[in-house]
């Protein structure tokens, strides 16, 4: 039995949770509208468009226009949700998100699909590895990076029902382990402690939370007690959870399916150096573009898999004072 088979985890794309949430929200919020960019089925916005065609608008392959449309609809009292691949949403439409949406503090929700390497064979041009850095720097913006299908559903619902302002939700394409369920707590800006430990803290986001859980099992066989945190909200980040973890375990390893610069690791480090400095290290994409391949093959090649996480954690634990 391999390490994956020890868990009764279903494999579900996190994008499914985005689609499920849209249809659930539509029933409670008649002012909710959705804007697509010719990738409706890929982002699962088709769950909404098929049920509420009169409230769906396809902007075509014109992401900047879609962002502008969303801002305009928000300023007239609608709750627009704009969805497309993360590379196109955060990259091509960055100026419109910054100046038209965030500067106006418009109540726009952005579904950034296919984050990380999960696009697989589509390759580097479609693999969003930079959007956390781009999005988290924007004033007024809230940034979610949920771990699985159910957490994506909860993040999308929270974006609409709890936040009056711009929100970006990053989710993936490939099936990932379902590690949460309906009873799992989700609070905006409040990290979830997946498991507690004494020797090292692993702070992860997105699909890397499951890989970190698997890594902890290897580490604990070596006598290393691991605290795991699911940092599903990167902005506003849970400063208290980070500081408490630094004080308790004395070392922090961040794990993300994103460039090493400017992502989750940078956000956590900004807190650590200002509160309780401890040894830190980062598991992330090391300043390179993605490439074509099956998602799990790429995760292993880019050293984001549970074995690579465990190896990096062992090295970091030796640096503790």
pTM over 0.75, yes/no: yes
pLDDT in tens, 263-291: 999 999 999 999 999 999 999 999 999 99
User: Edge-to-edge strands of the sheet including 252-259?
Assistant: 192-195, 226-230, 200-204, 252-259, 280-285
Alpha carbon 146 to its chain centroid, in Å, reads 5
Active-site annotation holds for 63: yes
The whole-chain average pLDDT of the chain stands at 96
pLDDT recorded at residue 321:
65
pLDDT in tens, 168-208: 999 999 999 999 999 999 999 999 999 999 999 999 999 99
Average pLDDT over every residue of 233-251: 98
Residue of 41, 63, 307, 315 with catalytic role: 63
| Residue partners of 244: CB distance under 8 A and separation at least 6 | none
Beta pairing, strands 192-195 & 226-230 = antiparallel
CA distances from 191 to 174, 196, 228, 241, 243 (A): 24, 13, 10, 7, 12
CA distance 164 to 175: 31
Give the total residue count for the chain.
321
pLDDT at 6 exceeding the cut of 80? no
CA distances from 284 to 14, 58, 183, 301 (A): 20, 34, 30, 12
Phi (first) and psi of residue 74, to 5 degrees: -65, -40
CA distance 60 to 238: 37
pLDDT recorded at residue 320:
82
CA distance 307 to 121: 23
> Between these two residues, 119 and 149, which has the higher pLDDT value?
149
CA distance 129 to 174: 15
pLDDT recorded at residue 120:
87
pLDDT recorded at residue 8:
85
CA distance 120 to 126: 9
CA distance 215 to 311: 9
**Domains detected in the chain:** 6-177 (3.40.50.970), 185-317 (3.40.50.920)
């Amino acid at each position: 039995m391999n390490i994956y088979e020890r868990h009764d985890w279903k494999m579900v794309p996190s994008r499914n949770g985005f689609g499920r949430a849209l249809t659930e929200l539509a029933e409670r919020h008649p002012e909710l509208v959705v804007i697509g960019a010719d990738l409706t089925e890929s982002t699962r916005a088709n769950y909404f468009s098929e049920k509420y065609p009169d409230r769906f608008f396809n902007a075509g392959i014109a992401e900047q226009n879609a962002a502008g449309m969303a801002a305009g609809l928000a300023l007239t009292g609608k709750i627009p949700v704009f969805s497309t691949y993360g590379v196109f949403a955060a990259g091509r439409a960055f100026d419109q998100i910054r100046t038209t949406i965030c500067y106006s503090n418009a109540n726009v929700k952005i579904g950034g699909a296919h984050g990380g390497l999960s696009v697989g064979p589509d390759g580097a041009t479609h693999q969003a590895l930079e959007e956390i850095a781009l999005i988290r720097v924007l004033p007024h913006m809230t940034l979610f990076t949920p771990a699985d299908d159910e957490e994506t559903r909860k993040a999308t619902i929270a974006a609409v029902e709890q936040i009056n302002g711009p929100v970006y939700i990053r989710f993936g394409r490939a099936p990932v382990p379902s590690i949460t369920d309906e009873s799992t707590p989700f609070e905006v800006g409040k990290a979830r402690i997946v498991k507690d430990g004494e020797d090292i803290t692993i702070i992860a986001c997105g699909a890397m939370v499951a890989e970190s859980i698997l890594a902890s099992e290897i580490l604990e066989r070596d006598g290393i007690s691991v605290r795991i945190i699911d940092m599903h909200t990167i902005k506003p980040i849970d400063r208290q959870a980070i500081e408490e973890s630094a004080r308790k375990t004395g070392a922090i390893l961040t794990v993300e399916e994103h460039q090493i610069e400017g992502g989750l690791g940078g956000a956590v480090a900004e807190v650590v150096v200002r509160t309780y400095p401890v040894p830190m290290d980062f598991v992330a994409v090391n300043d390179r573009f993605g490439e074509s391949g099956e998602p799990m093959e790429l995760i292993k090649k880019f050293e984001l898999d549970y074995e690579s996480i465990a190896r990096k954690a062992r090295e970091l634990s030796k640096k503790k004072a």
